[in-house]
Amino acid sequence: MQVITENPIGPGFALTENQKMITDMVRNFGAKEIRPKMMEWDESQEFPVDVFKKMGSLGLMGVLVPEIYGGAGLGYHEYITAIIEVSKICGSIGLSLAAHNSLCTNHILTFGNEDQKQKYLPKLATAEWIGAWGLTEPNTGSDAGNMRTVAVKDGDHYVINGAKNFITHGKSGNVAVVIVRTGEIGDSHGMSAFIIERGTAGFTSGKKENKLGMRASETAELVFNDCRIHKSQMLGNEGDGFIQSMKILDGGRISIAALSVGIAEGAYESALKYSQERHQFNQPIVKFQGISFKLADMATKIEAAKLLTYRAGDLKNRKLEVTKESAMAKLFASEVAVEAANECVQIFGGYGYTKDFPAEKYYRDAKLCTIGEGTSEIQKLVISRLLLR
Ligand SMILES: Cc1cc2nc3c(=O)[nH]c(=O)nc-3n(C[C@H](O)[C@H](O)[C@H](O)COP(=O)(O)OP(=O)(O)OC[C@H]3O[C@@H](n4cnc5c(N)ncnc54)[C@H](O)[C@@H]3O)c2cc1C
């Protein structure tokens, strides 16, 4: 695939040819492979691994990975478009797609050495393997730097003990990038990142979460019990892990912003259609200003969220500083997703409260966007710190 670097929100705001191709491809794929089954997966909390394998063959599981490592070799604009289109259909599939691409795979792509990239990226980019990324612990979420899972050096190995929770693909992931303590508590250089393969002695999965939304995206605990990892599995140098994670989250937050935009657009489009079909007082409900103004607000905010998201992607493509802009995109887009999904349920009325229509699923799925990869409060902390620097 050819990389097109022109800005999709430049003159005319036109999508590039690659973005148009991705949009068509995902819409066709979603109609056949996601939409018919998504409520079943949602009800049973099934993580549909086969769907991700199929998305791997379409290049969607390694969007940012260069072609020499088996990826699609595309940039952030194409990546954002892919996540928006998938998430318009199903937030769970969008979340897992984002976590696989942005967190595990991108950590190895950005900080791995050549051996690590050659070993893991082709498997991840094609979805032969599913990736997980573990930063959060039961007692340290927002305050991740205070983590307690520890790796103690023993010759050429490190021995890891502790647990990570709320990890996307915590059970089905074939490989995980895990950030653990190798130095003092309170030292931002006291943490290191390791690549740990499923099947390594002392590495198991714990509790799978039963969630409000995003139910087809698996969330589970990673448990380490005297897990011996060779030093060659470390990403970068000892002490780099936390700083690396913050950089990975800069990109990850763009993907959660895209996930939010997708959910918001899905909710908006369903509400628009329903409001034209549903009649009350002998007219379509969209003729009531109370309803059409809701749609106007939704459409305007979604457009603004999309601009912030593509702007952050543009900075990332140009390898510029993006911490503030990705936090702004994530903060704004996730709050818009919650608001749009809420209004969608309202426009559907009683039917919006049932599982016969998509409104309630958008409503449940959207809430995760204000929590995962840093809550809205933490985004404000990041933004305000940078404003006051
Ligand atoms: C579905 C799902 C998937 C996830 N996937 C992953 C994953 O793949 N990998 C991973 O590592 N983690 C993952 N997470 C974890 C996620 O990143 C954390 O849940 C999130 O960072 C919040 O941490 P916490 O849940 O511990 O909340 P807490 O940090 O305990 O926060 C509780 C409340 O306190 C507020 N708060 C905390 N500190 C401050 C402050 N300084 N100022 C103001 N308010 C504050 C928060 O905003 C929040 O409202 C996932 C979570 C979910 C639900």
Q: Residues 6 or more apart from 4 whose CB is under 8 A from it?
A: 16, 17, 18, 75, 77, 78
The pLDDT assigned to 13 comes to 65
Q: Check pLDDT > 70 for residue 9.
A: no
- The rounded Cα 355 to chain-centroid distance in angstroms is 25
Rounded average pLDDT over 38-66: 98
Residue nearest ligand 1's atom 38 by CA: 142
CA of 59 to the centre of ligand 1 (A): 30
Q: Which amino acid is at 9?
A: I
Index of the ligand 1 atom closest to the CA of residue 132:
8
Q: How confident is the model at residue 75 (pLDDT cuts 50, 70, 90)?
A: very high
Is the CB of 58 inside a 6 Å radius of any atom of ligand 1? no
pLDDT digit string, tens, across residues 17-42: 999 999 999 999 999 999 999 999 99
Query: Is the model more confident about 285 or about 8?
Result: 285
Index of the ligand 1 atom closest to the CA of residue 211:
1
Is the CB of 249 inside a 6 Å radius of any atom of ligand 1? no
> What is the crossing angle of helices 91-98 and 359-366, to 10°?
30
CA distance 150 to 307: 41
Round the average pLDDT of the chain to a whole number and report it.
Answer: 96
Residue 304 vs residues 67, 223, 251, 300, 375: alpha-carbon distances, Å? 33, 41, 19, 6, 20
Rounded average pLDDT over 341-360: 98
The pLDDT assigned to 12 comes to 44
CA of 372 to the centre of ligand 1 (A): 6
Percentage of the chain with pLDDT > 70?
97
Residue nearest ligand 1's atom 16 by CA: 372
Q: Check pLDDT > 60 for residue 6.
A: no
Of the listed ranges 2-11, 27-36, 127-136, 281-290, the least confidently predicted one is 2-11
CA distance 165 to 207: 8
Is the CB of 374 inside a 6 Å radius of any atom of ligand 1? yes
Q: Check pLDDT > 60 for residue 11.
A: no
CA of 137 to the centre of ligand 1 (A): 10
CA of 136 to the centre of ligand 1 (A): 8
Is the CB of 99 inside a 6 Å radius of any atom of ligand 1? yes
Structure tokens at 314: 């543009």
Is the CB of 134 inside a 6 Å radius of any atom of ligand 1? yes
Is 373 considered catalytic here? yes
CA of 371 to the centre of ligand 1 (A): 6
Q: Check pLDDT > 90 for residue 73.
A: yes
The pLDDT assigned to 14 comes to 82
Index of the ligand 1 atom closest to the CA of residue 134:
11
- The rounded Cα 51 to chain-centroid distance in angstroms is 16
DSSP 80: H
pTM of structure: 0.96
The pLDDT assigned to 186 comes to 85
Index of the ligand 1 atom closest to the CA of residue 135:
11
Q: How confident is the model at residue 335 (pLDDT cuts 50, 70, 90)?
A: very high
The angle at the Cα of 130, spanning 127 to 134, to the nearest 5 degrees, equals 150
CA of 178 to the centre of ligand 1 (A): 17
- The active-site residue out of 78, 218, 325, 373 is 373
Q: Check pLDDT > 90 for residue 169.
A: yes
pLDDT digit string, tens, across residues 302-329: 999 999 999 999 999 999 999 999 999 9
Q: Check pLDDT > 90 for residue 5.
A: no
Q: Check pLDDT > 80 for residue 1.
A: no
The angle at the Cα of 354, spanning 351 to 359, to the nearest 5 degrees, equals 75
Residue nearest ligand 1's atom 24 by CA: 141
Rounded average pLDDT over 265-294: 98
Index of the ligand 1 atom closest to the CA of residue 139:
26
The pLDDT assigned to 178 comes to 98
Rounded average pLDDT over 155-165: 98
CA distance 169 to 222: 10
